[in-house]
A and B are shown apart, each in its own frame.
Chain A
Amino acid sequence: MSASAVFVLDLKGKVLICRNYKGDVDMAEIDHFLPLLLQQEEEGLLSPAITRGNVHFLWIKHSNLYLVATTNKNSNAALVYAFLYKLVEVFTEYFKELEEESIQDNFVVVYELLDELMDFGFPQTTDSKILQEYITQEGNKLEVAKSKVPTTVTNAVSWRSEGIKYKKNEVFIDVIESINVLVNANGSVMSSDIVGSIKLKTMLSGMPELRLGLNDRVLFTLTGRDKGKSVAMEDVKFHQCVRLSRFENDRTISFIPPDGESELMSYRINTHVKPLIWIESVIERFSHSRVEIMVKAKGQFKKQSVANNVEIKVPVPSDADSPKFKTSTGHAKYVPEKNLVVWTIKSFPGGKEFLMRAHFGLPSVENDEKEAKPPITVKFEIPYFTVSGIQVRYMKIIEKSGYQALPWVRYITQSGDYQLRTNS
C-alpha cells in the first residue's frame, strides 16, 4: 500500500540507516537512487518520484539528508510524502536537529522509532509527544512503569495523555495570518490570499473540553447574526483533535487539545488583500557600466500599527560590483553570494513611505548568459492586528474537576510568499 522500505541517505547517497518493512524490493536498489536523481537534475527533469524498472523511489530532502521510500506497487503517493515529512517532524522533535550527525548519534532510538512509526508499510503512531512516553533516549533508565503501552496510543483520543497536571491552568492562542501576494512588473496584483493559522499552547490539567468561537461568516449566517463583522474562510483545516463532523454540521470547533504547543487549525481566505507593504521599483541597467536601483516602500496599513523587522530583498545582476547605497531609513546591505541587496527597516509605521537608492558598477566585458529574473521579496511582521479581521470571540474550557482557566489571545500578521516581479 505504501512503502516497502525507508532509507535515510547522506548527500553522497550513502545509506545512514534504513528499515525494510515488506521485503518485496531489493534493498540494494537504493544504490541507483542518487545517480538517477543527479541525472534527472542534469536533464532538468527532476521529479519527486523516480522510477527504475519496477521500483519507484519517492523522496524528500531535509538539510543534508535524503529520505527515500521504495515501492514496487501502486502506492498511495500522497501518504508516502506525508509520512516522510512526518518522519522529519518526529526526528526533529526527538533530536532537535535532523541531520547526519543526529542520526548517527541516536541510531538505537532511530531504529526503535522506525519500528514504531510504520509496520509492513502502514504508518502507525506518529505523534511524537505520545511516542516520547514509551520510547525514550535514556533507554537504560527505562523504568518498568514506563515500559507499559500508554493507553493513549490506542485511545480514540490518541494525542493527549491522561493525568496531566498544572498549577495554573492557562491556554495561549496565537492567531497568525500570512499574506501571500504576487505582483506583476506593471504593478497589478496577480494573486493574493491570506493563510491563517491558530496555534495553541495548552497548559491545562486533566481532559478538558474546549470550544473555540470565531467570527466565522458561515456560523453567523447560520445563527442569523449580523454578517458585517464576520470573516468568510475559504477553506479550513483542523488538527486531528477537532471533531470534524461536528464542524461540518453546525460549525462548532470543539476538541480535547493536545498538551503543550500545537497548531489547532489553519484557514485560507481568498479576498483581494491590499499588499500591506507596497513596493515600487525602478531598476535601470546601463550595459557595460552600471545598474541603478530605486526602491520605494510604502506602509499600506493603519497609522497606529507598526511593521517590525521589515526586510526588502532586491535582486542585482550576478556580475555587479562596488555597491553604493542611500536610504531614507534603515540599512541596506549587499549579499553577493545571493545576488541581493537586503534593505532592513526595524520599525515601519503605517502610512509612511521610505526610499532606497543603490548603485552598482558593471564590468565592461559582460556575461553572455541570460540571467534569471528573481522577484523582489518582502518580509515583515505586524503585531496586534489581523488583515482579515478574524477574532477569537471566546474559548470555553470545561473540565470535570471544574477549575477556572484563562485563555490569552495574541494576533500577528506577517508576510508569507510575498513576491513583486521586476522589469529588468
Chain B
Amino acid sequence: MTDSKYFTTNKKGEIFELKAELNNEKKEKRKEAVKKVIAAMTVGKDVSSLFPDVVNCMQTDNLELKKLVYLYLMNYAKSQPDMAIMAVNSFVKDCEDPNPLIRALAVRTMGCIRVDKITEYLCEPLRKCLKDEDPYVRKTAAVCVAKLHDINAQMVEDQGFLDSLRDLIADSNPMVVANAVAALSEISESHPNSNLLDLNPQNINKLLTALNECTEWGQIFILDCLSNYNPKDEREAQSICERVTPRLSHANSAVVLSAVKVLMKFLELLPKDSDYYGTLLKKLSPPLVTLLSGEPEVQYVALRNINLIVQKRPEILKQEIKVFFVKYNDPIYVKLEKLDIMIRLASQANIAQVLAELKEYATEVDVDFVRKAVRAIGRCAIKVEQSAERCVSTLLDLIQTKVNYVVQEAIVVIRDIFRKYPNKYESIIATLCENLDSLDEPDARAAMIWIVGEYAERIDNADELLESFLEGFHDESTQVQLTLLTAIVKLFLKKPSETQELVQQVLSLATQDSDNPDLRDRGYIYWRLLSTDPVTAKEVVLSEKPLISEETDLIEPTLLDELICHIGSLASVYHKPPNAFVEGSHGIHQHSADQFAIMKQYFSVLQVWLPATKAKGLEIAGTFSRRQGHMYMDMTFINKALQHMTDFAIQFNKNSFGVIPTTPLPIHTPLMPNQSIDISLPLSTIGPVMKMDPLNNLQVAVKNIIDVFYFSCLIPLNIFFVEDGKMERQVFLVTWKDIPNENELQYQIKECHLNADTVSGKLQNNNIFTIAKRNVEGQDMLYQSLKLTNGIWILAELRIQPGNPNYTGKKKTNATAFSYKLMVHIF
C-alpha cells in the first residue's frame, strides 16, 4: 500500500473533515489525518487553518507522527506566529527526551521556526543540546546555532553560543567537528572581519585530524575552511599540503575539488625550486583528469575550474590535451568548455592532433559549436606560429564546404591571421573573394572588406568588389560602413587613377547622407587629408599596423587569483568574483570617511588618470559629464613621447553600472610628439554589470601602437541621475512610508552656506529633484527624489537650519545593499 491514497481526497469540506479526524480519539486515525494534511500541503493547498489541531498531535511517542507534525510546523509557523508559541513547550520537553533521535529532531526543527518570539525560549534547550552526551544531538545542535544566528545574530553572541561552537571544534567526534566548522564558516560569511574561526596551528591540527575520520561532506566543510587559512611559513604550508593530498583519491568529486583548492592556494607559498613543489604539481593532474569521467554536471564544474587552473599553472595539464577531445555524446556545455581548454593547451607539440580534431568539429551540426571550432582554428594559427600554414589550409578546406556560417566565421579569423602574419598567405585572397556574395553577417562582411582594402593592389577587380557593397551602404551596420570607407580610401591611395569616382561616392555617402557622427567625422578627416596632402594621407592610412597579440580572452591576473581561491564554487563556474553576483550583506558597513573623501575629488575639472611616466609617454586626463541626457567621458590625450602614436582603442572592464563606450575612441589621426587631442567619448549603461569596490570604480584599458595601459578612475554618481527622476508627489509619499527603516541612512553635510532654494537649484542641475518643501519650527525641510540609470529610486529628506552650515539628511531607498553604498556616495 502506498501513500498516494492521501492525495485523493479532494472534495469540498475537506478541511472540516480533517479537523474532525485530527481530534479523533484514536491515535491511528490522528496519524492518518496528519498524513492527509501533509499531502495537501505538498500539493500546495493552504492547510494553515488546521494549525492548532495539528499542534495538538505533537505530544506523541510515535516518532513518525512527531516528524510529520514538526514538518507542518516548519511550513506554517511563520504565517501563524501567535499560535506557534503553543509548540514551545513541546520543543523544550522533547529536548529532554531520553531518545536522542527525538532530542535531535527537536533541536533541528526549532531552528527552522523563524519566529522571533519563539527563539528566546529555545536558548536553554539549545545550550543543553550543545553539551549532550550523544554526538548525534551535538552535531545537530551545532547547525542550530547557525540557524539561530540567521534569525537573531545579536542573541547568539550574547548567549555565548559562538564560544560553545568554537569549543566543539575540539570535540572528540569528527562529525560534530565538521558541523561546527560548517556552522562557524557560515556565520563568519556575515561577519567578514571577525576572526570567528580563530584559525591557529592548534586548531588547524584538530581539523586535519578530523579530516581523516569524518564523512565525505564533513571533509568538504573542513577543506573549504582550511583554504581560508594563511600558513605562517612555507614549512607549515607544506605540512598542511601533505595531509590534504590524500583527499585527491576520494571518490566524491567535491572532496577532490575542495582539496585541489587548498593545494592550488598553498602552492603559492612553496618555493618554486623545491622538490616538493614539483611533486605536488604532478599529483594535481591525474585527479583533475578523472573528474572528466564523472556525471556531465560534475564535468562541467570541473572544466570551468580546469580553465582557471590552466591559466594559472599551464604546466599541470600540458600533457593531457587528449582528455579534452570532444565526444559525440557530450552535452553542448561540456563540448564548448572542452574546446576552450584545448586552445589554451595547444602548443607546437600537439598542434597536429588539435587541428585534426577541430576540423572534425567544424563539420558537425551544432551551429554554436561549429562556429567556436572555426574560431579555435584561427586562434591556433595565431598562437602557434609553426601551425599557421596548416591552419590556413584547414580553413580553406572549410570554406570549400560552402556551409554559410562556416565560411563567414572562417573569413573573420583569416583576417586576424593576415594581421598576425602579413605578406604570407595573401595567395588565398582569390578563394576568399569567390565567397563574397554569401556573406550576410556584419562581422564577416567587414572582415572581407578589410581584406580587399588592405590588399587592393593584388586584387584586380578590387574596385568592383568594393563598389558592390556601396549600393546598400545605408543598410549596412556601422562597423561595415566604417570599414568600407577606410577600404575604399586605401584602394584610392593605391590605385588613384581608376578609383577617383568611387572614393568621392563613398566620402559623400559618409559625410552628407549619414547621421552617424563617427562615420561623418572619419569621412571628413579622410576628405581633408586627401585634398590637402596626399602624401601624408598615404602615411596615415597605409601606415604599418601593429601585430595582434596572441592570447586573447585571458582572465585578468588579480581576478584569476581571486577565482582560484573559490575553486569548486559558483564563482569558479561563472568566472566572476562572488561580490558580482551575491548581494553582500556587509556592503552596508562600509560607509567610512574615506568614501566621503572620494566625493570631494569630483569637483576638479580634469584629473590626470594616466601619468605619462606609467604609459610610455602617453598622458590621459579626464572627467565625466552628463549633457542633454547623455553621459560622456571627456578626455585629453597628450603625447609626451618622442615617437608618434596611432591605433588608439579603449575598453572598459565590467563595472557596477554597466558603463561602456558607445563608439570607438574617436582618434583617427596619429598623435604627434607634444601634441594633444581633446575628445568626448559618449557612454551608455547597457554593458555587462559587475559590482566594483568602490562602487563607482571604472577600470579602463587604453591601447596604442606602443602598448596597452590600464588605469582606473571614479565615475561621479551624479552622471547616472536621469532626467526623469522627479517622482509624483503622491507616489513619493506612499513610497517614503513603505520603505522600511533598515533601508534608511542618516548623514550630515558640513560647511555648506547656502539657503534652501539655492541648494534645491544646484541639486536640480544634477537631476536631484525637490518634490516638496516645508518649514517646520524654523527649519527648511526638502523632500527630494532621484532615479539612477539602472532604475533604482532614491528618496531624500534634507533638513536645513538657517544659520547652521551643517545639513542633516535622511535617505531611503527600496533597493538592496547596492543602493546603500550608492547613497553613501552621493553626498
Stretch at the interface among A121-129, A280-288, A327-335, A380-388: A121-129
CA distance A244 to B213 in the complex (A): 10
Query: A123 near B217 (CB under 8 angstroms)?
Result: yes
Pairwise interchain contact A1-B185, C-beta atoms closer than 8 A: yes
Q: Is the CB of B568 within 8 A of A78?
A: yes
- Interface segment among B143-151, B425-433, B485-493: the answer is B143-151
**Chain B CB within 10 A, most for which of A47, A153, A237, A238:** A237
Interface centre among B213, B302, B366 (most CB of A within 10 A): B213
Decide yes or no whether A81 CB sits under 8 A from chain B: yes
**Contact A268–B293 (Cβ < 8 Å):** yes
Taking CB atoms, residues of chain B closer than 8 Å to A190 are 322, 325, 353, 356-357
- The 0/1 profile, CB within 8 Å of A marked 1, for residues 240-263 of chain B is 000101110111111001100000
| Bound-complex Cα distance A239 to B246 (A) | 13
Decide: B246 and A248 in contact? CB cutoff 8 A: yes
Asked if A419 CB lies within 8 Å of chain B CBs, one says yes
Cβ distance A8 to chain B, nearest Cβ, rounded Å: 11
Q: With A and B bound together, what is the CA distance between A240 and B256 in angstroms?
A: 12
Check B42 for interface membership: any CB of A closer than 8 A.
yes
Q: Please state if A105 and B64 are interface contacts (CB–CB under 8 Å).
A: no
CA distance A306 to B360 in the complex (A): 34
Cβ contact of B286, chosen from A54, A240, A268, cutoff 8 A:
A268
B576 to chain A, nearest CB (A): 9
Contact (Cβ within 8 A) A119 B250: no
Q: How many angstroms from the CA of A236 to the CA of B249 in the assembled complex? A: 6
Closest Cβ–Cβ distance, residue B443 to chain A (whole Å): 19
With most chain B CB atoms within 10 A of its CB, the pick from A78, A245, A417 is A78
- For B135, give the chain A residue with the smallest CB separation: A154
Given A46-B332, A81-B295 in contact, is the A245-B243 Cβ separation under 8 Å? yes
Structural contact, A108 and B38, CB atoms closer than 8 A: yes
Q: Which residues of A contact B7 (CB under 8 A)?
A: 104
Given contacts A147-B99, A236-B249, A245-B212, contact A421 B360 (CB under 8 A): yes
Contact A115 B253 (CB under 8 A): no
Q: Chain B: which residue is nearest A157 at the CB level? A: B213
Closest to A44 in B: B368
Contact between A370 and B403 (Cβ–Cβ < 8 Å)?
Answer: yes
The answer to whether B246 and A148 touch across the interface, beta carbons within 8 angstroms, is no
Chain A, residues 392-412, CB within 8 Å of chain B (1/0): the string is: 000000000000000000000
A149:B134 contact, CB within 8 angstroms: yes
Interface string of B219-257 (1 = CB under 8 A from A): 011001000000000000000000101110111111001
Q: Do B566 and A247 have beta carbons less than 8 Å apart? A: no
Query: Which residues in B have their C-beta under 8 angstroms from that of A235?
Result: 249, 286-287, 289-290
Given contacts A1-B182, A74-B566, A244-B246, contact A373 B297 (CB under 8 A): no
A82 to B294, CA, bound (A): 10
Asked if B44 CB lies within 8 Å of chain A CBs, one says: yes
Q: Are A182 and B568 in contact (CB under 8 A)?
A: no
Give complex CA distance A195, B325 in Å.
17
Q: When chains A and B are docked, how far (Å) is the Cα of A322 from the Cα of B146?
A: 67
Q: Which residues of A contact B287 (CB under 8 A)?
A: 235, 237
Q: Is the CB of B364 within 8 A of A372?
A: yes
Given the contacts A115-B108, A120-B143, A184 and B356 also touching, CB distance less than 8 Å: yes
**Is B677 at the interface (CB under 8 A from chain A)?**
no
Q: Which one, A47, A51, A268, contacts B581 given CB within 8 A?
A: A51
A139: which of B64, B182, B247 is its contact (CB, 8 Å)? B64
Chain A interface helix/strand/loop/mixed: mixed
Q: Would you give the shortest CB distance from A401 to chain B, in whole angstroms?
A: 25
| Contact across chains for B71 and A111 when beta carbons are under 8 A apart | yes
Within 33-55 of B, Cβ neighbours of A (below 8 Å) are at 35, 38-39, 42, 44
A169 at interface (Cβ–Cβ under 8 A)?
no
Q: Does B602 contact A (CB under 8 A)?
A: no
Interface: A112 (CB within 8 A) = yes
* Closest Cβ–Cβ distance, residue A246 to chain B (whole Å): 9
Closest to B369 in A: A44
How many A residues face the partner with a CB closer than 8 A?
92
CA distance A241 to B297 in the complex (A): 26
For A121, list chain B residues within 8 Å (CB): 186
Smallest CB gap from A150: residue in B:
B136
CB proximity to A under 8 Å, residues B255-312: 257-258, 286-287, 289-290, 293, 295-298, 300-302
Complex: A263 Cα to B252 Cα, angstroms: 12
Q: Chain A residues near B251 (CB, 8 Å)? A: 237-240, 263, 265-266
Q: Would you list which residues of chain A between 81 and 108 have a CB under 8 Å from chain B? A: 81-85, 101, 104-108
Contact of A81 among B74, B247, B249, B301 (CB under 8 A): B301
Contacts of B68 in A (CB 8 A): 108, 111
Does A210 reach chain B (CB closer than 8 Å)?
Answer: no
In the complex, chain A residues 217-254 whose Cβ is within 8 Å of any chain B Cβ:
234-240, 243-245, 247-248
Is B570 at the interface (CB under 8 A from chain A)? Answer: yes
Is A234 a contact partner of B360 (Cβ separation < 8 A)?
no
- A48 contacts B296, C-beta separation under 8 Å: yes
Q: A85-B295, A142-B64, A156-B213 are in contact. Are A73 and B582 (CB under 8 A)?
A: yes
Contact with B along A353-368 (1 / 0, CB 8 A): 0000000000000000
Query: A374 within 8 Å of B by Cβ?
Result: yes
- Separation in Å of the A264 CB from the closest CB of chain B? 10
- Taking the closest CB of chain A, its distance from the CB of B144, in whole angstroms, is 8
Q: Counting CB contacts under 8 A, is A339 at the interface?
A: no
Partner of A119, one of B114, B140, B289: B140
Which of B85-93, B171-179, B522-530, B753-761 lines the interface with chain A? B171-179
Distance between A288 CB and nearest chain B CB, rounded to angstroms: 19
Given contacts A78-B298, A240-B215, 11 further A-B contacts (CB under 8 A): A74-B566, A82-B298, A107-B3, A120-B111, A120-B186, A123-B217, A147-B101, A149-B101, A190-B353, A268-B293, A417-B329
9 nearest CB pairs, A to B = A235-B286, A105-B2, A244-B246, A74-B578, A139-B64, A78-B254, A123-B217, A154-B135, A191-B322
Which residues of A are in contact with B by a Cβ distance under 8 Å? Answer: 1, 15-17, 20, 22-24, 44-49, 51, 54, 56, 58, 60, 71-79, 81-85, 101, 104-108, 111-112, 115, 119-126, 134, 139-140, 142, 147-149, 153-154, 156, 158, 182, 184-185, 190-191, 195, 234-240, 243-245, 247-248, 263, 265-266, 268, 370-375, 417, 419, 421
Chain B residues engaging chain A, CB cutoff 8 angstroms: 2-4, 6-7, 28, 31, 35, 38-39, 42, 44, 62-64, 67-68, 71, 74-75, 99-101, 104, 108, 111-112, 114, 134-136, 139-140, 143, 146-147, 150, 173-176, 179, 182, 185-186, 189, 212-213, 215-217, 220-221, 224, 243, 245-247, 249-254, 257-258, 286-287, 289-290, 293, 295-298, 300-302, 322-323, 325, 327-329, 331-333, 353, 356-357, 360, 363-368, 403, 566, 568-574, 578, 581-583
14 example contacts (A-B, Cβ-Cβ < 8 A) are as follows A48-B296, A49-B570, A74-B581, A77-B572, A78-B568, A85-B295, A106-B3, A111-B38, A147-B101, A154-B136, A237-B250, A244-B212, A245-B246, A375-B328
